[in-house]
Structure 1
Amino acid sequence: MYKLRGHHLFCLLGYRGMGYSEEYVENMTRLHQTLRAKPNTLILLVKGPDQLCEKYPNSGKYHCQDDNIYEKDAIILEKMGLKIGQILTWMDIEASIRKFVVPSDIQTVCKSCSWRSYGVCEEGIQEIHEGKRLRKLL
């Protein structure tokens, strides 16, 4: 079972193999590929730092404890009809995305995210709506 915070549910949809450091990318890629290959993998929704945050590079202020990040987590979970402490499969999370999220939500929910300008998260949400799985990394 993986522990994930709210906004990382969206980050996984847009993940294309880029990240904050080599160690972070390796960790994110491992999780992404596991969920892609085994969509019945269990996810525990947590408040605060999760298994992806564990590999966030220590470069001063700890981004994963920022109030804006907690706020983003809460907004995303509420939008998806999910709650901290729930245990779901990745497939259940994809179903919730199809039901409650549209690609343009990224523009408002994730407006402060430095990755938003790439457009990959909207693409990821659109692909889930089209019945596709997480994208295969090149």
Structure 2
Amino acid sequence: MTIRLRAHHLLCLLTFIGKGYTPAFTANYRRIVARLNAGEAAELVEGPDDICAPMLGEPGHHCRNASVRERDMQALADVAALLGRPLASGESFTLDPVRVAALRAAFAAGAIRTACQGCQWSGLCTDIAAGGFAGVRLCG
């Protein structure tokens, strides 16, 4: 199988330590990270993805909001610039150790954090990056 990921979740995965919106959301996120750690491929998608799935039944949840789509476009642009090539929906990839290390270095340096502006989790993610990504779940 392939894990469907929206672009800004590529950034969120870098600092995921097991916290989330609800217990169901967090449990699902842990399962997804375990699959990525096992080498399962991910596919870039537009809109809600496999991480969003537990929240989609909640009325008014932000997963479908225009502001989140904008966050995705910002993340996609930043990661594409880092990689030096365009990225698009439908593209598949694995989050191997080399790729994760490069993304984390750029994240810690602030080079791929445009999408993080205004996010309620940004402070936590900044602290995790400043702490050398201690306790994160994604190994790469």
Give the TM-score normalised by structure 1.
0.76
Q: 1:111 maps to what in 2?
A: 117
Q: Distance in 1 between matches of 2:121 and 2:95?
A: 22
- Spell out the pairing of 1:44-123 with structure 2 (5 A cutoff): 44-56=43-55, 58-81=57-80, 82-91=87-96, 93-94=99-100, 97=103, 101-103=106-108, 104-105=110-111, 108-120=114-126, 123=129
Q: Distance in 2 between matches of 1:76 and 1:122?
A: 19
Question: 1:112 Cα deviation (Å)?
Answer: 1.1
2:46 alignment partner AA: K
The unaligned stretches of length 5 or more in structure 1 are none
How many residue pairs match? The answer is: 128
Q: 1:48·1:70 contact (CA, 8 Å) conserved in 2?
A: yes
Q: 1:31 maps to what in 2?
A: 32
1:4 equivalent to 2:9? Answer no
Query: What do the CA deviations read for 1:4-52 (whole angstroms, capped 9, x no partner)?
Result: 000111111111111111110100011112222x2x3211100000011
- Spell out the pairing of 1:117-136 with structure 2 (5 A cutoff): 117-120=123-126, 123=129, 134=138
Give the TM-score normalised by structure 2.
0.75
Report the aligned-residue RMSD: 2.9
Q: 2:78·2:114 contact (CA, 8 Å) conserved in 1?
A: no
**Which structure 1 residue ranges, 4+ long, deviate > 3 Å from structure 2?**
57-60, 105-108, 119-122
The unaligned stretches of length 5 or more in structure 2 are 81-86
